[in-house]
Structure 1
């Protein structure tokens, strides 16, 4: 395992850690009117970590087998990651071409301090198809030729870095809960509450342009 490979994986994990879905999940649970919000948020992070590591391990082992069976299997893995991200941008761009009412982001009624890990699994798993840095990281690990034990250790570290912003939010929530919740309520009113989202051609065009860039990268990867 080289220093260069470790630096690449760490950089991709830090980029992937800026994931709004998991961060928003922790924030919502800290704001939720339940008896143990910090514990619920902690279990959510556990579910997110296990999802990132578990699904990554499946993709990694499958990609390694594909690389041995098909010479260009890793190329298609990389192209698929960029194509999935481009598709997500196209969908987001199309949605901005018409006005709509954005529903308020809320915690499901079945979630409590004992079941919040399941919410972490669901939210993180639903967002992983768009996490193209993760697929690039897996491709780098497979191409490096490291042992599968070292590869799994890298994926475990990647998942930890991915959850790092959530862990910071969780620690602050445990130490300064009231102050943090007050600030989170202000953020929620601006970003999470129900609001009318007008049609915005410029934003849609930016999304579609980003999708075209990703498609171009996928075609040359």
Structure 2
């Protein structure tokens, strides 16, 4: 295990930490009208952490077990991630070809301080195929040949850095609840409330061109 490996993985984790889905999940729970918004946000963060750590460990151990087929296996993992991202961009582009009303983002009725961990698992797991830094980090760890005893602590650190923005928001919500919620209310009004999205051909074209570019990268990576 080298400092170059640790610095590289830490840099990828910090890039991956700018994940809007996970951060938005914590913000939404802090705004929830229930009696325990901070506890729900904490449960969500725990679920996100365990998801990143658990899936990372599964991908790593699967690649490690493949021995000689590691490179090929990781290539297909990367290609799958890029393909999912391309399809997501394409769908977003096609949606902008017509006017639509974007529904408001709300907290499901089944969410409480315990089940919020499940919500964190679902939202984080659904977004991981688009997390290019995540798979690049796992590839570096496999290529470094540090073994499971070295790889798993690195993955645990990666997951912690990934959740760092959520933890900071969670601490701010616990210490300065009303002030933080007022700021989040303004943000929610702009990006989370029900909103009419007009047709936009230029934006649709940009998304479709971006999807084609990502798909091209998927099969040359």
Q: Give the whole-Å Cα distance in 2 for the aligned partners of 1:79 and 1:112.
A: 36
Runs of 4+ in 1 over 4 A off after TM superposition: none
Matched, 1:22 2:26: no
- 1:215 deviates by 2.5
- Please say if residues 99 and 196 of structure 1, whose CA atoms lie closer than 8 Å, have aligned partners that are also in contact: yes
CA 1:67/1:73 → structure 2, altered by over 3 Å: closer, same or farther? Answer: farther
Alignment of 1:74-89 (within 5 A): 74-89=74-89
How far apart are the structure 2 equivalents of 1:56 and 1:202?
A: 37
Residue 125 of structure 2 aligns with which residue? 125
Normalised by the length of structure 2, the TM-score is 0.94
The whole-number CA distance in structure 1 between the counterparts of 2:70 and 2:129 is: 23
Partner in structure 1 of residue 177 of structure 2: 177
Q: Which runs of 5+ in 1 are unaligned?
A: none
- 1:145 match: 145
CA distance in 1, matches of 2:179, 2:5: 40
Question: What is the TM-score normalised by the length of structure 1?
Answer: 0.94
Consecutive unaligned residues of structure 2, counting only runs of 5 or more, are none
What RMSD over aligned residues (CA atoms) do the two structures have, in Å? Answer: 1.5
Alignment deviations for residues 24-78 of structure 1 (CA, whole Å, 9 cap, x no partner) = 1111111111111111111110011001111111111112223434652232223
Deviates more, 1:173-182 or 1:71-80: 71-80
Contact between 1:47 and 1:119, CA under 8 Å: does it hold in 2? yes
How many residues are treated as equivalent by the alignment? 221
Partner in structure 2 of residue 106 of structure 1: 106
Shift of 1:213: 2.5
